[in-house]
Chain A
């Protein structure tokens, strides 16, 4: 019988190690993973693939919660964009959902095929993740589009109204109050 510690280490590797993650993120859940760690002998590769997909799905649910406006704007494009991102990135620790959200918004901000207002919304929502993650900091975001106002409906297809806005925020210490000037 496989030692439990070896089995768990192999499982953790299979679910989140870079090579396997790319395989999980880019193939359908019915494709079996390519792996040959003897500690995993007898475990269904299709089940492992599904477990990996479940993990990516869970990360995506955090993205929807942390970046709600960008997620809504991307709509059905979100899962495939997130899978492309997840193939290359995995964060750990209790702040992993925040780091993931920050990483994904930075990923979106450089996807040239997306409209510029999506990039702006990504940078704006990323600011909130930064605020939570970082300590002493000043932050500035310049926006050309009126994307930050929840009262303004933004569509992926239609260019939103332009309004030059500068957000300045600062926070002294990880437990300090966030102060902002718009």
Chain B
């Protein structure tokens, strides 16, 4: 298709400029790839429009892993999704991690790559988990430096994901929507809006998720994540362990009405169900995406 060729060419030429990000083609309904489904993704090939791979799982692949990656790439549009770049670390980026991420991106040449708005490393400690950032001007400055460094090394459009906020900080200078807007606009990045995280934060911290959504820049929202979590000790947890509940489907619909989203992606990690159940969820998401997004 002529349009698609132009898009890919555009990404390659206008690297790291959001003009390139805006040229990302419609992707459809995708799945977060997990090894447990390595046979099923081919069996259900027609039901999966794109796959998101955890970048960390494919760093410096041994030959067998490299062949798995090549095979996935031959069949699917792959989007690498990072867990440990720690873009919010005030002490700067881990160059070793960044280089490995860059090597993976160079290998698979994705339309874009994604990471979280979080920190995972500080003071020589790798927390091993996405930890929230205070929404302050100081944090914006740290993110600006780190994102610039990352985008100098990885020359593809970057989209940034909101996380669940287990901790809220005192003296924050921006609200959730202002923070996401400032980060994406200052750094000319897209937004990977995790609808489940937005919903969980709204439940645990008692706010209206639509009021946050409607303050975001719609043209920056490129991709969505959705899945179900579970309740523990009066808190809703982002455990990726359950089918998407109706409340999150409704919020997903609202996001799709609001923004020209390119792709919606199911990311399940725990209590993995048969692939047919995931395919049913993807199909529902695809229908909503087509309906609200006026996609083909």
Q: Least Cβ distance of B98 to chain A in Å?
A: 13
Contact B90 A4 (CB under 8 A): yes
Tell yes or no: A16 within 8 A of B by CB: yes
Q: Say which one of A47-55, A119-127, A159-167 lies at the interface with B.
A: A47-55
CB distance from A86 to the nearest CB of B (A): 11
Closest to B89 in A: A8
Number of cross-chain contacts by CB at 8 Å: 102
Q: Does B127 sit within 8 A of A, measured CB to CB?
A: yes
Q: Tell yes or no: A96 within 8 A of B by CB.
A: yes
**For A12, A43, A51, A65, which residue has the most chain B Cβ atoms within 10 angstroms?**
A12
Q: How far is the CA of A68 from the CA of B260 in the complex (A)?
A: 41
Residues of chain A lying within 8 A (CB to CB) of residue B171: 1, 42
Which one, A50, A58, A59, contacts B235 given CB within 8 A?
A: A50
The complex places the Cα of A120 from the Cα of B219 at a distance, in Å, of 56
Q: Is the CB of B128 within 8 A of A12?
A: no
Kindly supply a per-residue 1/0 record for chain B positions 161-185, scoring 1 wherever the CB is within 8 Å of any chain A CB and 0 otherwise.
0000011111100000000000000
Please tell me if A93 contacts chain B, counting CB pairs below 8 Å.
yes
**Chain B CB within 8 A of A29 CB:** yes
- B122 at interface by CB-CB < 8 Å: yes
The 8 A CB mask of A3-25 against B (1 = contact, 0 = none) is 11101110111011100000000
Judge if B125 is at the interface, Cβ distance under 8 Å: yes
> Contacts of B186 on A, CB cut-off 8 Å?
none
Which of B62, B126, B142 contacts A4 (CB under 8 A)? B142
Query: CB-nearest residue of chain A relative to B270?
Result: A61
B162 to chain A, nearest CB (A): 16
Report which A residues bind B (CB closer than 8 A).
1, 3-5, 7-9, 11-13, 15-17, 28-30, 41-44, 47-48, 50-51, 54-55, 57-59, 61, 64-65, 90-94, 96, 174-175
**Subset of 29 A-B contacts with CB under 8 Å:** A3-B90, A4-B90, A7-B169, A8-B89, A8-B90, A9-B122, A11-B122, A12-B121, A13-B123, A15-B131, A16-B125, A16-B127, A28-B233, A42-B169, A44-B167, A47-B167, A51-B129, A51-B167, A54-B129, A54-B237, A55-B128, A58-B128, A58-B129, A61-B239, A61-B270, A96-B126, A174-B62, A175-B62, A175-B63
9 A-B pairs with the lowest CB-CB distances in the bound complex, closest first:
A42-B170, A92-B126, A9-B123, A8-B122, A5-B90, A51-B166, A12-B125, A12-B122, A4-B90
